[in-house]
């Protein structure tokens, strides 16, 4: 490639005069040719990020070529409810204790004072032992475990739902399906989200060749390792009150087929790509089921991930 310059410099010697019209055209011709050569060398298409999804504590990156990167494990908060604070007791980060009607999160490992509780206690080097969560509650926080339908909840009850921690802000009897925005119609919301992305038993194994989903599968990563494969059955809302947006993920650890079916003679429908089957592609394949609600009278689930082609 030959470029003509008027003056001398880092680019080389110059002509010492204005360029002639044919020399200017020659410069443009050479540069445009170089750009065309670079464009011709680029790939015909590039792969970029289409979307990013989260299932429980796992992050997935969906690419435009339909491949999926992940899962990437997100940091997990594992609360341990220790009850009323006690003297001379070993406490650890993420323990939760109560004292005189207030609730505290342990923020630094330590052994508690042998005589009395001090909310400002520290190790003398800037590490506070406690962080106030709830002050002077009339009712101490009570952990009720996983949320369930038909349960009488009272103020400051705590429960876990789909990997998140909620506090009850208004007494009521729960009704399926779970709705984080549920209220009594008079401006009293039932729940307050405290923490999301909680740890716990987020990974579970399924050893049986046939398995029907249950409410505690929500936000779980189910590893299917039966030597005979596995048939996953999606039940009706009447049987299991899933909430809109609930997601369950699956990993095949077997060489035999892993398939997904709706409960027999039910209104459940499993939607997936038209050129795919409701079946994991093979061993080490991953897919997720997401409940999207009642659509056109059908309880609709979306199945997506590494599925077997038609």
222-248 pLDDT per residue, tens: 999 998 999 999 999 989 988 888 889
Q: Is the pLDDT of residue 129 over 50?
A: yes
With 0-12 / 13-18 / 19 or more C-beta atoms within 10 angstroms meaning exposed / middle / buried, residue 305 is buried
- pLDDT average, residue stretch 6-25: 89
For residues 302 and 232, membership in a common domain is answered with yes
For residues 305 and 218, membership in a common domain is answered with yes
- pLDDT average, residue stretch 249-263: 94
For residues 99 and 129, membership in a common domain is answered with yes
Q: How many CB atoms lie within 10 A of CB 161?
A: 20
Domain annotation covers residue 281: yes
Main-chain dihedrals φ then ψ at residue 39, nearest 5 degrees: -60, -40
When the pLDDT of each residue in the chain is averaged and rounded to a whole number, the result is 87
For residues 264 and 304, membership in a common domain is answered with yes
Domain annotation covers residue 37: no
For residues 259 and 215, membership in a common domain is answered with yes
Structure tokens given for 222: 């189910």
More confident residue, 134 or 173: 173
Which pLDDT band holds residue 123 (cuts at 50, 70, 90)? very high
Q: Is the pLDDT of residue 198 over 70?
A: no
Report the pLDDT value the prediction gives residue 138, as an integer from 0 to 100: 47
Report the pLDDT value the prediction gives residue 51, as an integer from 0 to 100: 87
What is the number of structural domains in the chain?
A: 3
Domain annotation covers residue 287: yes
Kindly report whether the global pTM for this prediction surpasses the value 0.85: no
CATH number of the domain bearing residue 188 = 2.10.10.90
Domain annotation covers residue 232: yes
Q: Is the pLDDT of residue 124 over 80?
A: yes
For residues 162 and 223, membership in a common domain is answered with no
For residues 96 and 163, membership in a common domain is answered with no
Q: What's the domain range around 161?
A: 142-195
For residues 292 and 243, membership in a common domain is answered with yes
């Amino acid at each position: 490639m030959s470029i003509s310059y008027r003056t001398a410099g880092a680019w080389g010697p110059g002509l010492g005069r204005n360029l002639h019209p044919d020399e200017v055209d020659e410069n443009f011709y050479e540069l445009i040719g170089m750009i065309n050569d670079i464009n011709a060398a680029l790939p015909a298409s590039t792969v970029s990020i289409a979307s990013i999804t989260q299932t429980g504590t796992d992050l997935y990156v969906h690419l435009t070529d339909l491949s999926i990167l992940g899962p990437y494990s997100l940091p997990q908060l594992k609360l341990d409810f220790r009850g009323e604070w006690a003297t001379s007791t070993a406490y650890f980060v993420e323990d939760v204790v109560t004292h005189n009607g207030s609730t505290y999160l342990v923020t630094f490992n330590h052994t508690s004072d042998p005589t009395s509780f001090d909310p400002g206690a520290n190790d003398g080097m800037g590490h506070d032992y406690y962080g106030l969560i709830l002050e002077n509650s009339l009712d101490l926080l009570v952990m009720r475990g996983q949320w369930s339908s038909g349960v009488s909840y009272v103020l400051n009850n705590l429960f876990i739902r789909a990997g998140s921690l909620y506090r009850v802000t208004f007494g009521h009897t729960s009704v399926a399906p779970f709705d984080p925005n549920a209220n009594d119609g008079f401006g009293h919301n039932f729940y307050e989200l405290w923490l999301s992305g909680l740890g716990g038993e987020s990974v579970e194994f399924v050893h049986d060749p046939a398995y029907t989903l249950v409410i505690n599968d929500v936000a779980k990563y189910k590893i299917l390792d039966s030597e005979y494969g596995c048939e996953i059955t999606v039940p009706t809302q009447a049987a299991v009150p899933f909430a809109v947006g609930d997601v369950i993920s699956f990993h095949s650890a077997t060489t035999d087929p892993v398939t997904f079916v709706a409960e027999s003679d039910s209104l459940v429908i499993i939607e997936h790509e038209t050129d795919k089957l409701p079946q994991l592609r093979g061993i080490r394949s991953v897919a997720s089921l997401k409940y999207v609600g009642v659509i056109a009278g059908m309880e609709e689930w979306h199945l997506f991930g590494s599925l077997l082609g038609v």
